[in-house]
Amino acid sequence: MPTLVRCVMGAEHLPAFVEGMMNLAVGMTVWETRAHGHEKNVVSYRGIPYEIGTLSVTVDIVSDDSWVDDIVRKVREAHVREEFSVQNIYLFPVEESYHIRNGFMDN
């Protein structure tokens, strides 16, 4: 059964993360997220300052179960060696998938 590996990290760590996952992941989906923690950035729009959360990215990797342990191990080792840092990592089982192009559904 495939597993969705979701990693949340600071945007500055994305290039190193992608390079580190090149041999382990066939593809990744990356999108911008906003953290609403203690750190705030102040931006000005039309002369009015606004506090916004820090810029983060979320990376999704759907992988076969045989590769999930290797992906998690690589993230942990990179964190220890300070190559890149992942704030959160989540694992979700993928029970079904739907192919938009041809309408095929995997169970």
103 within some domain: no
pLDDT of res. 3: 93
pTM of the model: 0.74
What is the C-alpha to C-alpha distance for residues 90 and 29, in angstroms, rounded to an integer?
A: 14
Nearest Cα neighbor of 74 from 16, 2, 3 is 16
Domain region containing 12: 2-56+66-92
Q: CA Rg, the chain, in Å?
A: 17
CATH label of the domain that carries residue 44: 3.30.70.120
97 within some domain: no
pLDDT in tens, 89-102: 999 998 887 778 88
Nearest Cα neighbor of 28 from 43, 7, 42 is 7
CA pseudo-torsion sign 41, 18, 79, 87: positive
39 within some domain: yes
pLDDT in tens, 1-58: 889 999 998 888 899 999 989 889 888 999 988 766 666 677 788 888 887 767 789 9
